[in-house]
């Protein structure tokens, strides 16, 4: 069955887009984080075949082949999620979507950008650099993660305190269903809406292309940082900052957590050994200055 599957997929996408090499299959059997040994034994996380399609039509074709052969398909972006979503549990086809990385169209007058799912956020940010528009929301893993991976995991990141999830900023989605049918989905669609597909972790559809609503480029930005002796105070101020000043990014680092990551044991003492909050505001120069003043007042109060 596997040889026949490989032959059919190869006929569809070309031999340079398919791999059954054992080493490559092992490389695709985990994501950014290693799977704990005991859990790994419960699943077959090594895919049987890796496919690297270059168009939405090929993705749709692969889904049809998978249906015919009754094999599972695991979509994968840059594998930065770290919770195993891009890792197979029953072998099958591993769909590496990073080849679908094109900017399809840019409507500069309306601030609409259509991108393929494998596009990396940083490349989109660089593309928009020369325009008067920018992204309202993107993940802090922007240097490597993909648009499809962010949509499939819920889409909350930088900018979300002000603009919500990526789904609140999506005009439409060109989705590929498990049957291999392609479907345009927008907030007014009858059958299914973007909100129902978002966060589905590759189970309900392949996000093929997304049309993103951009926001006018903000003219000013400024960072902020504050240290707190007690974690509880940092949490309180961070909540207040999020509610009242809506920073573009806001990060809280507890030193106990930092130490735990470095291998030391986390004790209640560590958790209370201080924290920093940092981030940045992005808006007009006047708004940024006002936010920084409010930040200074909240921190010193
Ligand atoms: C330093 C760092 C910072 C991070 N910051 C954030 C953050 O700010 N916000 C946040 O939410 N996460 C964050 N993450 C987690 C992760 O980077 C994001 O969730 C990212 O959006 C995942 O994208 P990816 O391309 O790596 O997806 P993958 O890890 O490859 O896949 C994630 C899931 O999406 C599915 N999938 C991938 N592509 C598609 C597609 N086209 N269609 C359907 N399903 C698909 C996969 O099957 C899997 O279930 C961070 C991670 C790191 C390491």
Residue 246 and residue 225: Cα distance in Å, rounded? 15
Mutation test of ligand 1: which of 50, 63, 77 has the most ligand atoms closer than 8 Å to its C-beta? 77
Which of 185, 216, 247 marks a domain boundary? 216
The answer on 131 and 86 residing in a single domain is no
The answer on 88 and 140 residing in a single domain is no
Which of 44, 66, 97 marks a domain boundary? 97
- The pLDDT value recorded for residue 74 is 98
For the CA of 139, the closest atom of ligand 1 is 8
Residue 1 and residue 10: Cα distance in Å, rounded? 14
Nearest CA to ligand 1 atom 5: 140
- The pLDDT value recorded for residue 173 is 98
Q: What average pLDDT does the structure give for the chain?
A: 93
For the CA of 82, the closest atom of ligand 1 is 29
The answer to whether 121 touches 147, Cβ cutoff 8 Å, is yes
Assess whether pLDDT exceeds 70 at residue 29: yes
Q: What is the CATH number of the domain that holds 242?
A: 3.30.70.3450
Assess whether pLDDT exceeds 70 at residue 265: no
Residue 237, CA distances (Å) to 183, 195, 202, 226, 280 in order: 45, 31, 36, 10, 15
Q: How confident is the model at residue 269 (pLDDT cuts 50, 70, 90)?
A: low
The answer on 295 and 277 residing in a single domain is yes
The answer on 190 and 114 residing in a single domain is yes
Average pLDDT over residues 180-195: 94
Complex ipTM: 0.99
Residue 119, CA distances (Å) to 78, 123, 295 in order: 10, 7, 35
C-alpha of residue 145 to centroid of ligand 1, in Å: 6
The answer on 73 and 114 residing in a single domain is no
Ligand 1 binding site (Cβ under 6 Å of any ligand atom): 31-32, 74-81, 85-86, 97, 117, 139-141, 145-146, 148-150, 152-154, 156-157, 201-202, 206-207
Full residue range of the structural domain in which residue 70 is found: 2-97
Number of domains present in the structure of the chain: 3
Q: Could you please report the per-residue DSSP string of 188-242?
A: T-SS--HHHHTT-TTSS-EEEEEEEEPEEPPSEEEEEEEEESSHHHHHHHHHHHH
For the CA of 157, the closest atom of ligand 1 is 8
pLDDT top residue among 236 and 38: 236
Closest CA to 98 of 52, 43, 64: 52
Which of 201, 216, 231 marks a domain boundary? 216
C-alpha of residue 202 to centroid of ligand 1, in Å: 11
The answer on 204 and 254 residing in a single domain is no
Nearest CA to ligand 1 atom 49: 85
C-alpha of residue 219 to centroid of ligand 1, in Å: 29
Residue 142, CA distances (Å) to 41, 149, 257 in order: 32, 11, 23
Encoded tokens for 45: 């996380």
> What would the pLDDT profile of 204-220 be if each residue is shown by its tens digit?
999 999 999 999 999 99
The answer on 241 and 209 residing in a single domain is no
- The pLDDT value recorded for residue 30 is 92
């Amino acid at each position: 069955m596997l040889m026949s599957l490989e032959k059919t997929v190869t006929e569809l996408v070309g031999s340079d887009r398919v791999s059954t090499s054992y080493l490559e299959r092992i490389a695709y059997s985990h994501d950014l984080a290693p799977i704990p040994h005991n859990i790994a034994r419960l699943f077959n996380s090594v895919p049987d075949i890796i496919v690297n399609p270059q168009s939405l039509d090929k993705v749709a074709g692969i889904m049809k082949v998978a249906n015919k052969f009754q094999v599972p398909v695991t979509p994968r972006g840059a594998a930065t999620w770290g919770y195993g979503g891009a890792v197979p549990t029953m072998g099958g086809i591993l769909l590496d979507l990073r080849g679908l990385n094109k900017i399809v169209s840019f409507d500069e007058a309306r601030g609409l950008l259509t991108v393929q799912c494998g596009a990396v956020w940083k490349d989109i940010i660089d593309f928009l650099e020369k325009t008067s528009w920018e992204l309202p929301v993107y993940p802090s893993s922007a240097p490597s993660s993909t648009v499809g991976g962010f949509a499939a995991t819920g889409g909350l990141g930088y900018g979300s305190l002000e603009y919500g999830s990526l789904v609140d900023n999506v005009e439409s989605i060109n989705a590929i269903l498990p049957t291999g049918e392609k479907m345009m989905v927008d907030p007014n669609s009858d059958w299914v809406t973007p909100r129902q597909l978002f966060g589905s972790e590759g189970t309900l559809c392949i996000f093929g292309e997304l049309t993103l609503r951009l926001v006018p480029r903000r003219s000013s930005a400024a960072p902020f940082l504050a240290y707190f002796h007690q974690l509880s105070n940092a949490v309180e101020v961070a909540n207040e900052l999020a509610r009242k000043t809506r920073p573009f990014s806001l990060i809280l680092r507890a030193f106990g957590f930092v130490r735990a990551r470095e291998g030391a044991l986390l004790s209640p003492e560590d958790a209370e050994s201080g924290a920093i909050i940092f981030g940045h505001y992005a808006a007009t120069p006047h708004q940024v200055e006002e936010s920084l003043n409010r930040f200074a007042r909240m921190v010193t109060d």
